[in-house]
Amino acid sequence: MAREYVNMKNLRFLLHDVHQIKEVLAQPYYAEHDLESIDMMLDAVKQLSDTYLFPHYEDMDRNEPQLEGGEIKVHHSVRPYLDAMGEGGWIGAVAPMDLGGMQIPEMLGVSAAFVMAAANNGATGFNGLTTGAANLIVSFGSAEQKEKYLPKMFEGSWQGTMALTEPQAGSSLSDIQTTATPMPDGSYRIRGQKIYISAGDYTETENVVHMLLARIDGAPLGTKGISLFIVPKYREGEHGELVFNDVTPAGLYHKLGQKGTPATHLMYGEKDDCHGYLVGEPHRGLSYMFQMMNEARLLVGLGAVSIASAAYHASLQYAKERPQGRRYEDGKRDLTGPQTPIINHPDVRRMLLLQKAIVEGGLSLVMECARYADLAKAGDEETRAHYELLLDLLTPVAKTYPSEMGIVSISQGLQVLGGGGFCKDFPLENYYRDIRIYPIYEGTTGIQSQDLLGRKVVIKNGKAVKLLMAEIQKTLEAAEAYEDLRPYAEKLRAKLETVQQILMHLVPFAMQGKIERYLSDATLFMELFGLVVVAWQWLKQGVVAKQHLVSGKDDPDFMESKLHTMKFFYHYELPKTLGLAERLLDDTVLTIAEDTRELVN
């Protein structure tokens, strides 16, 4: 039986029924699209993924990129895939039409990316990075830069990158040292090195457009002295021809997973001939880059949930087919009877339900964020500010919950396969390796957690949290209309009070200037907050499933399964907040560095 990697019915349920894409489509900005065209595009994405992505997943992992004679070669399936992406308009899909995009809602963009990354997450980094780089040019580039770079990037023939990290500047981007010297012709000479740059160089692309952070000579120290540059691998020469721009690959990293996408170590300006072109204003680079990083963070959360989806489907199929042991109910000691499929063992069902709860809950959270991005984009000033605040608050959570819990989810999926899960005969070990990077790049979990507690929660005197509480309140009221959902609404309400109690305990530390104390358990706060927010997403799905069942609408089995998984989340996952809350309210802190003696031995 062919293996599935996504549940398209669930995707459509989230897109249409739970998150109501029709409300987004009602905005004039999206007038070119309707429900029918959205569904057709989703079908096209599935077909593209079935053809160009899924069949190459395993082979890309086994045949990783090679650096030979200064050139990097990637898997043979990458070029045809990127051509198909360009032809389908997917690389520039969310960009405005007047710049060559399709102006599709983020909600659809996220749905498409979900299907593609579930099919082959090692390949989708190529187009994802180009889209992110192009979106930066769309937002902050000059008319000339848009004209020069966007068409080639959107058609997939030029690769985009995000060139931030340096050996001494990973989480701490304020320590970037790459320099940019102004030249009389208005360009800059770039000198420095960047590490871990994904899709940073390979021969199967005509050009690479690096969105690079550097310091203009004499710029102030720290984040306020960082500017954003376009640094192509080949720049335009005097007569419009492409000339080499002194960007060379010094090395290729050999990674645990996501082996299809080359992670490169790049040298800029070794021969003093690397030209960079300033984007926007000097010294504002990091704030521009944050736009790309915020988008990228959502896509990281989405990528994690996509891999977890593929892993869930693989382990579900295995669990239905693998006979092992007998059920107590069937007379465990009667060895003459047939073995039962392992899906009938409660512990295996627990592992499968956990995976489903994480995948469908995490996807719903990312979709919620995409909806906020769409409503912010198309609304008036007040609406925009409203949804941007909600998006700001939830972005670190939407990056972190799927990344961290996706690992747990796939680990359980691997466990479902027993010894087979550990072996290359089955894809689980591949998914397990692939997902491990997600809590690391685009800001580690530690950094996201400090962002959540240190900035987002207290932003505008806690206004973002108040807006979120108001959103959750709507779901609580809708749930309270149904007797069997009322207990779940009550559980969630109690958890919201726990969040408030923890904040009242912690915020005074921040007010006294004890920032290290305030943030010392930020990651544990993130874990608790993520559980509460995803519980909200499950109640939201539960309400819609219930509405469908009451009105006798389509597919009662699907809706019952939704409600069952919602209950699973509330009875098995949400109680984990109790232990976290106890820790977060505990006055004993053992992690603040006084000296290293207490860690010796």
Ligand X SMILES: Cc1cc2nc3c(=O)[nH]c(=O)nc-3n(C[C@H](O)[C@H](O)[C@H](O)COP(=O)(O)OP(=O)(O)OC[C@H]3O[C@@H](n4cnc5c(N)ncnc54)[C@H](O)[C@@H]3O)c2cc1C
Interface positions with ligand X (CB under 6 A): 161-165, 170-171, 196-198, 255, 263, 437, 440-441, 444, 446-447
For residue 153, give the nearest of 126, 117, 182 by alpha carbon: 126
Contact 149, 134 (CB under 8 A): yes
* Nearer to ligand X among residue 100 and residue 439 (C-beta): 439
CA pair distance 483, 206, nearest whole angstrom: 61
Spatial CB neighbours of 332, under 8 Å, sequence gap ≥ 6: 325, 326
DSSP-assigned letter for residue 230: E
* Nearer to ligand X among residue 122 and residue 421 (C-beta): 122
Spatial CB neighbours of 216, under 8 Å, sequence gap ≥ 6: 179, 180, 181, 182, 188, 225, 227, 282, 283
- Cα–Cα distance list, 331 to 326, 340, 344, 347, 547 (Å): 7, 11, 14, 18, 40
* Nearer to ligand X among residue 351 and residue 526 (C-beta): 526
CA pair distance 231, 466, nearest whole angstrom: 42
Minimal distance, residue 129 CB to ligand X, in Å: 7
* Nearer to ligand X among residue 293 and residue 416 (C-beta): 293
CA pair distance 151, 139, nearest whole angstrom: 15
Contact 45, 116 (CB under 8 A): yes
Minimal distance, residue 526 CB to ligand X, in Å: 12
Token pair of 586 as six digits: 């505990």
* Nearer to ligand X among residue 223 and residue 444 (C-beta): 444
CA pair distance 375, 377, nearest whole angstrom: 5
* Nearer to ligand X among residue 171 and residue 324 (C-beta): 171
* Nearer to ligand X among residue 360 and residue 442 (C-beta): 442
Minimal distance, residue 396 CB to ligand X, in Å: 13
Q: Which of 155, 295, 442, 573 is catalytic?
A: 442
For residue 580, give the nearest of 499, 525, 532 by alpha carbon: 525
- The percent helix, strand, coil of the chain (3-state, each to 5) is 60, 10, 30
DSSP 562-582: HHHHHHHIIIIITTHHHHHHH
Minimal distance, residue 161 CB to ligand X, in Å: 6
Minimal distance, residue 440 CB to ligand X, in Å: 6
Q: Burial level of 38, CB count in 10 A (0-12/13-18/19+)?
A: buried
Minimal distance, residue 558 CB to ligand X, in Å: 36
227-232 vs 242-244, strand pairing mode: unpaired
Contact 208, 242 (CB under 8 A): no
* Nearer to ligand X among residue 164 and residue 581 (C-beta): 164
* Nearer to ligand X among residue 187 and residue 444 (C-beta): 444
Minimal distance, residue 187 CB to ligand X, in Å: 22
Which uninterrupted H or E stretch holds 229?
Answer: strand 227-232
Residue 516 annotated among the catalytic residues of the structure: no
CA pair distance 188, 57, nearest whole angstrom: 40
For residue 364, give the nearest of 2, 94, 12 by alpha carbon: 12
Instruction: Give the CB-nearest residue to ligand X.
Output: 170
DSSP-assigned letter for residue 454: I
CA pair distance 126, 132, nearest whole angstrom: 10
Minimal distance, residue 254 CB to ligand X, in Å: 10
* Nearer to ligand X among residue 17 and residue 175 (C-beta): 175
For residue 532, give the nearest of 472, 492, 485 by alpha carbon: 492
* Nearer to ligand X among residue 441 and residue 536 (C-beta): 441
CA pair distance 150, 183, nearest whole angstrom: 25
Which uninterrupted H or E stretch holds 234?
Answer: strand 234-236
Radius of gyration of the chain (CA): 25
For residue 556, give the nearest of 568, 541, 546 by alpha carbon: 546
Minimal distance, residue 424 CB to ligand X, in Å: 21
- Cα–Cα distance list, 34 to 15, 98, 249 (Å): 13, 19, 45
CA pair distance 111, 351, nearest whole angstrom: 25
Minimal distance, residue 445 CB to ligand X, in Å: 7
Residue in this structure with the two tokens 């939407």, named with its chain if needed = 398
179-182 vs 207-216, strand pairing mode: parallel
Minimal distance, residue 548 CB to ligand X, in Å: 41
The catalytic site residues sit at 442
